[in-house]
Amino acid sequence: MRYPEYIDEIIGRFEGCGEQAFIVGGSLRDMLIGLPPHDYDIATSALPEKTLSLFADKRVIETGIKHGTLTVIFNGEPVEITTFRIDGSYADARHPDSVSFTRSIEEDLSRRDFTVNAMAYNKTLGLVDPFGGREDIEKKLLRAVGDPCLRFSEDALRIMRLFRFSAQLGFDIDEDTLLGASACQSGLEHIAKERIASELLRLLTSPYPCRALALMAERGIFAHVLKNYSPVLEDLAKAELLPRDEAVRLALLLWGEDNDTAAEHLRSLRYAGKQITGALAVLRGAKERVADEHSARALIANTGVYAPLAACLSEVMGISPKGAMATVERQMDMPCKISDLKINGKDLASLGAKGKLIGSTLEQLLGAVIADPRLNQRDTLVRMAREFLSVKDCE
C-alpha cells in the first residue's frame, strides 16, 4: 500500500492517545485497484473535539463538524477526518435525520454504499474488510453493502453513484444490487437536480460509460433524470469512441433531440451557462457535414472552439467522413483574421503607411496569407508590405 508519509503521521497521532484511525473510502479503494488515489479520507474513533485538540498546531476547517467531519491541512494537503458514525433513519431519501458516533469501525463501514467503498486500512491492523470489498475488486464488481433495496431507499443518490462508479472503474454491477437500484429508482425524484446532474456528468466523462448508460436506459432510470427523454441505445453505445470531454459527451446523450429540447434538458439539470452553450454548439455543429477545407472553415465560423469536437462527433455518428476532425483541426491553426497576421498596424506605420492605407494593406496581406498560410511570417510580410506600399506610392 503506497500513500504519503503524512497519512501515517496523522494515524499515529490518534493511536498515540488510545484512539483508532484508518484510511477509508475512495482513496483506499483506488489504491487497492492500482489507480492513483486522490483526497485521502481518514475515519477515527476520536470525537471531533479530540481531533481538534490533537491538530491544534495545524489549520483545521470545520467542514461538517455536526456530522463529525473536519478538514486538517497537513503538509499543505487537505485531509478529511471523520469520527466513526452510524447514520440515523432517512426521512427524505437523502439526509439522515440524525448521526450518532460509534467506537466501532465495522459499524462505520456498514453505513457506506458499496463493498469496494466499505473497507478501512492502517498499518497496525491491516485491512478491515467485513463485506468482501477486496474480493469484489478482484471480480470487478459493485455490490451494495447490506440489503440493496434498503440502502437505495435510504439515499437514492446511491443509484446514480452506482452507475457512475461502474463507468469510472469499468466494473460490473451485481444482479441484486441492480434489481434494488431499479426498484428504488423513483426515490431519485427527491434528490436535488444538481447532485443528479453532477453524477451524470462524472459518469459521461468517465473512461467506461457505455455499459452504465445501457443499464440505465434498460432499467428506465433516465425517466427520473431527464423528463420525456428517450435514450437511443445505438447512440449511447458510441460514447467511448469520443474524447472524455463534457460538451461532446453531453451532445451524444442528446443526439436524438432537436436543439430546443436539448437546451431544455440541459437547463433542467441546472448545468452552467457555459456548459450548456458548449454542448449545444457541439450538437448543432456535429450535424454539419465536413468534407473539405471549405466546410471545415464554415463549421469553425459557426461553432468556434467547439468545431473539432463537433467534427469528431459528426464522424462518429456517420454524418461526416473519417478525417473530418483532422481537417478541422488543421484549419483551426490557419490564420483567418487580421489579428492572426504576424504583422500589425504599427509595423505598417513604421514603414510609412498612414490612415486607411494601413487597413487596406492588412486586408491585402490577409488575402495572400489565406491563400497560402506559409506566407504568415514576419519577414515575408514586411517584405510584401514594402512592395505593396511602394506600388501605392507610384500610383
Binder of residue 157, out of Mg ion, ligand ATP, none (CB less than 5 to 8 A by kind): ligand ATP
Distances, alpha carbon 7 to alpha carbons 10, 20, 61, 75, 79, in Å? 5, 13, 17, 10, 9
Q: Is 351 helix (H, G, I), strand (E, B) or coil?
A: coil
Q: Which residue carries 470487478 as its cell?
A: 140
Residue 320 CA to residue 203 CA, distance in Å, equals 27
Q: Which of 77, 85, 88, 76 is nearest to 38 (CA)?
A: 77
H/E element holding 72? Answer: strand 69-74
CB 109 → ligand ATP: shortest distance, Å?
8
H/E element holding 261? Answer: helix 259-268
CB 373 → Mg ion: shortest distance, Å?
47
Nearer Cβ to Mg ion, position 23 or 248?
Answer: 23
Nearer Cβ to ligand ATP, position 51 or 327?
Answer: 51
Residue 48 CA to residue 19 CA, distance in Å, equals 12
Part in contact with Mg ion (CB under 5 A); list of ranges 26-34, 77-85, 253-261, 386-394: 26-34
26 is a site residue for Mg ion (CB under 5 A): yes
Interface ranges with ligand ATP (CB under 6 A)? 25-26, 41, 112-113, 117-118, 155, 157-158
Nearer Cβ to ligand ATP, position 155 or 174?
Answer: 155
- Terminal Cα distance for the chain, rounded: 80
H/E element holding 213? Answer: helix 209-218
Distances, alpha carbon 94 to alpha carbons 27, 191, 195, 220, 257, in Å? 23, 7, 11, 21, 31
The pattern of x and - marking residues 94 through 133 that bind Mg ion according to CB under 5 A reads ----------------------------------------
| Closest residue to ligand ATP using C-beta atoms | 26
Nearer Cβ to ligand ATP, position 14 or 114?
Answer: 114
244: region left, alpha or beta (phi > 0 left; psi from -120 to 50 alpha): beta
CB 25 → Mg ion: shortest distance, Å?
6
Phi, psi (deg, nearest 5) at residue 126: 70, -150
Binder of residue 19, out of ligand ATP, Mg ion, none (CB less than 5 to 8 A by kind): none
Nearer Cβ to ligand ATP, position 143 or 158?
Answer: 158
Nearer Cβ to ligand ATP, position 155 or 315?
Answer: 155
Q: Which of 279, 271, 292, 215 is nearest to 242 (CA)?
A: 279
Sign of CA dihedral 226, 228, 229, 232: positive
Q: Using DSSP bridges, classify how beta strands 141-142 and 172-173 pair: parallel, antiparallel or unpaired.
A: parallel
CB 243 → ligand ATP: shortest distance, Å?
21
CB 41 → ligand ATP: shortest distance, Å?
6
Binder of residue 112, out of Mg ion, ligand ATP, none (CB less than 5 to 8 A by kind): ligand ATP
CB 164 → ligand ATP: shortest distance, Å?
8
CB 26 → ligand ATP: shortest distance, Å?
2
Nearer Cβ to Mg ion, position 26 or 130?
Answer: 26
Residues at the contact surface with Mg ion, assessed by CB under 5 A: 26
